[in-house]
Structure 1
Amino acid sequence: MMVRSLFPIAIFAGVSLVAAAPALADVKAGVDAWSRGDYTTAVGEWREPAEKGDADAQFNLGQAYKLGRGVKQDLARAEELFGKAAAHGHLQASDNYGLLLFQRGDHARAMPFINAAAGRGDPRAQYLLGLAHFNGDNVTKDWVRAYALVSLAQQAGLPQAASALAQMDQHIPIEQRQQSVILASHLAGEAEATRARQVTAADLASGTPRAVPGPAASMSASEGASPTAIPRMPSIASAEQALAEASRVAGTDSPGGAGADFTRPRVPVVTSVPRTATPMPDPTPVPAPATARPAPKPAPAPAPAPAPPAAKSGNWRVQLGAFGVPGNADALWNRVKGRPELSGHGKMLEPAGRLTKLQAGGFASRADAQAACSRLAAGGFDCLAVRK
């Protein structure tokens, strides 16, 4: 099966700024000016410290060039500034640098930065890395990891991820999707630990404690958000903006498929083999020898039905609802029982006064139950992790 790679472009458009600390007065003054909407003054405050190598000033000035505020928009200059700040260990600049490299098509150089950002839980990077693993572009093809990464991006609220998962559902076997649920839980835990460790290392280097930026913070910042001294990832552009930008860059491709058309199969062109122009003489007919008619072969035995998934055990459950009419619990179970998150997890009906709770049991840990709930919630089902 051939799948076409997709490289969605406009997946970050928000702005967050940081004040250097111990703060150079110019950097802090620039952040204050930006907060007032005085972008020209802010840019003027950041130029000198950026030229002297201050990573926060370089990052903030890069944001101004990326957004075209206080200066003419210049993505090449923004990329240069993000690259300089990234070389000084600025995590947000590193993330933006990788995204800009990817945006202009330098995927091989971008991938180490994308991989590092995904390891810190950045949903934009998780989405791009997931597509790369799905297609095998500059990384190994790994559908379990691909589905897990795009699932995490979807859970963080990245709009393109939902349509990507819908396309992946058509190609990735259910067994691999089931494996991805557990992997996604592990990746989320590793990302949280990595973020905390790297921010702590930056604190020790600068002498200033900072809040740990998480995926939720990156989703909450809007393009018009006020700058703050607490580092936050830039927010993600709307799906409409992403489609429009993808159309501009891709050219002939329909923008309606941007974000999800990486699974569109290409139709191979078949070249016919030319026949010889010289006619061959008809051979003298030779009577065919008489042959015994072979005995009919018995019909093959039907393939055995696949064994049901083994029942899983554990003290944690996911609760899907509480119903005054027990039949409604059965109806909901019929809708969800085929989902990969619930494979091997048995249906449980728990009476609670006049209500009947619908649960699925056998989860080994709270993290496993919460991971299943996250995927169920993404599919439109209410869910709650509860202990037995």
Structure 2
Amino acid sequence: MPRRCIAVFLTGTLLFAGGTLSAGDFDAGAEAAAEGDFATAIKKWRPVAEAGNSVAQHNLGVIYRNGLGVPINYEEAAKWSLRAAENGHAAAQNNLGVMYSYGHGVPANDAEAARWYERAARQGHAAGQYNLGKSLEEGKGVPRDLLAAHMWFRLAEVNGSTRARRARIALEEELTAKEIATADDLSRDCRASDYKECNLNKPRQE
């Protein structure tokens, strides 16, 4: 099993929304997934996810989206990713945005994709910040705004995204020195406010 998938599964805080399930149920699923036994992982995580645990919900979304031990099922992936996203799981919010971008399990909708990217971005999720930056750069689901795109690329870069760094450098070919300085100021203000005060165009309603 790729290390990347293990990291996705084990990232996050266990949040139980009622019920009597113990952390042991989640841990048993994590151990099974680490060994490549996704059938057992699904069996252990499903009741935890049904009880409202956003990490378990996200994990099921990842399994079905990537076909880990089961056939790829975008509809099932979207269902669980939506539940996790609505429960505030940043990685699930970003993943759901990707599904809307490509029409995987949900109707393709750039505005909806940008909305979920924004929610992930405002939690400091680097991939969500990068994807939101690309939406802004290309005008997909949001009005095109190169300064805002630069701001989110910079924030994603600070949070460890190398592709965001490349995107920022490429974008600077289209900006003046003054515009770059303004975008950098915006990124500092945004980060200082814990992503609450950011000069961001809202996605269009479609």
Asked if Structure 1 and Structure 2 have the same fold, meaning a TM-score greater than 0.5 normalized by the shorter chain, the answer is yes
Partner of 1:15: 8
Kindly report which structure 2 residues correspond to 1:295-374, keeping only aligned pairs within 5 A, or say none.
none
Are the structure 2 counterparts of residues 54 and 185 from structure 1 closer, same or farther at C-alpha, using a change threshold of 3 Å?
closer
- Alpha-carbon distance in 2 for matches of 1:91, 1:192: 13
**Of 20, 24, 29, which aligns to 2:21?**
24
Residue identity in the other structure for 1:16: F
Q: Which is helix-richer, 1 or 2? A: 2
Is 2:57 the counterpart of 1:58? yes
Residue identity in the other structure for 2:40: T
Q: Deviations over 1:165-209 (max 9, x none)?
A: 232122111110011111111122233679xxxxxxxxxxxxxxx
Shift of 1:20: 4.5
- Alpha-carbon distance in 1 for matches of 2:90, 2:126: 15
Residue identity in the other structure for 1:154: E
Shift of 1:51: 4.4
Is 2:183 the counterpart of 1:183? no
Count of aligned positions: 183
- Alpha-carbon distance in 2 for matches of 1:32, 1:20: 18
- Alpha-carbon distance in 1 for matches of 2:123, 2:109: 22
5+ residue gaps, structure 1 = 1-11, 195-388
- Alpha-carbon distance in 2 for matches of 1:134, 1:62: 28
8 Å contact 1:41–1:70 — kept in the other structure?
no
Shift of 1:40: 2.0
- Alpha-carbon distance in 2 for matches of 1:121, 1:163: 19
Are the structure 2 counterparts of residues 192 and 16 from structure 1 closer, same or farther at C-alpha, using a change threshold of 3 Å?
farther
Are the structure 2 counterparts of residues 20 and 156 from structure 1 closer, same or farther at C-alpha, using a change threshold of 3 Å?
closer
Kindly report which structure 2 residues correspond to 1:237-248, keeping only aligned pairs within 5 A, or say none.
none
Larger RCO, structures 1/2 (Cα 8 Å, 6+ apart): 1
8 Å contact 1:154–1:161 — kept in the other structure?
yes
Are the structure 2 counterparts of residues 40 and 163 from structure 1 closer, same or farther at C-alpha, using a change threshold of 3 Å?
same
TM-score, structure 1 normalization: 0.42
Residue identity in the other structure for 2:194: A
Partner of 1:96: 95
Q: Which is strand-richer, 1 or 2? A: 1
8 Å contact 2:38–2:68 — kept in the other structure?
yes
Residue identity in the other structure for 1:97: L
**Of 98, 111, 120, which aligns to 1:117?**
120
Are the structure 2 counterparts of residues 171 and 119 from structure 1 closer, same or farther at C-alpha, using a change threshold of 3 Å?
same
5+ residue gaps, structure 2 = 198-206
Partner of 2:82: 83
Q: Deviations over 1:325-370 (max 9, x none)?
A: xxxxxxxxxxxxxxxxxxxxxxxxxxxxxxxxxxxxxxxxxxxxxx
Shift of 1:52: 5.3
- Alpha-carbon distance in 2 for matches of 1:91, 1:100: 14
Are the structure 2 counterparts of residues 176 and 192 from structure 1 closer, same or farther at C-alpha, using a change threshold of 3 Å?
closer
- Alpha-carbon distance in 2 for matches of 1:165, 1:88: 31
Matched position secondary structure for 2:9: coil
RMSD of equivalent CA atoms? 2.9
8 Å contact 1:118–1:129 — kept in the other structure?
yes
Is 2:61 the counterpart of 1:44? no
8 Å contact 2:150–2:183 — kept in the other structure?
yes
Kindly report which structure 2 residues correspond to 1:367-386, keeping only aligned pairs within 5 A, or say none.
none
Matched position secondary structure for 2:160: coil
The percent of aligned pairs where both chains have the same amino acid is 28
TM-score, structure 2 normalization: 0.73
8 Å contact 1:40–1:69 — kept in the other structure?
no
